Structure formats: structure tokens, C-alpha cells
Amino acid sequence: MPVYCFQDRQGFIHEKVFPIGKAPREINLGARGSARRCFSAESKGVPPKKGWPMECIASGVNAEQGKELADHLKKNGVPTEVTPDGNPVYRDKKHRDKALKVRGMHDRSSYN
């Protein structure tokens, strides 16, 4: 199920899981008030449709493992920025191919 984002009056984002098409416009936070659905927060972290650099969600890791991934890639000669969400940011196709190879992965779709 997808994760939906809701912003409270203080500006904090709350993530909630709902079935597709069932997310309400507003959620009750109990004593903390309510939060309205925030479409701009939901679109953050989505990679660009084309072009470089490219944030790759598919080869990302859990947010807590982001530093470990960055250290592993750097140690193996492919320094790579990793977002706070745990997604690597590839500078170009060559960089992406090297980083995936270090991790024992490859792209069957051969994104250019």
C-alpha cells in the first residue's frame, strides 16, 4: 500500500499508509490536532524522468543504512552521494554502472 503525507499546523509531515484511492484529505492526530494531505511532500524524492544526476529509488536502501552504503561504495572506489532516504545519486551512466557492479547488481533495462 502507498504512503501518503499529511502536514500539521506546525509544518511537520506525518506519513500514513492507506489503500490506493482511500487516503482522506485530513487526518486526526488526537491531542495534537489534525493534519491535511500534502501533495508536495508526497512528490519529494521522485527521480527526474530523464537526465543526470539521477536519484535511484530502485537501488536504494533503508534510510538507516544510507551511510553504510555510501561508505561501502567509497571504499570500493565509487564515491556516491546517498540521500537521507537511502537512495544513491548517480552522476552519469558510467558512474551508475560501476556502483551497481560493486553491489553485485545490474540494470536489465539498461537506462541511458
Residue 111 has pLDDT above 70, yes or no: no
Q: 47-68 pLDDT, tens per residue?
A: 555 678 889 998 999 999 999 9
CA dihedral 99, 100, 104, 106 (to 10 degrees): -160
- The pLDDT value given to residue 110: 60
Question: Over pLDDT 90: what percentage of the chain?
Answer: 62
Q: 71-87 pLDDT, tens per residue?
A: 999 999 999 999 999 99
Q: 5-16 pLDDT, tens per residue?
A: 999 998 899 999
At 4 the three-state DSSP class reads: strand
Would you list the DSSP string of 7-60? EETTS-EEEEE--TT---SEEE-GGG-EEEE-HHHHTTTPPPSSSSSEE-STT-
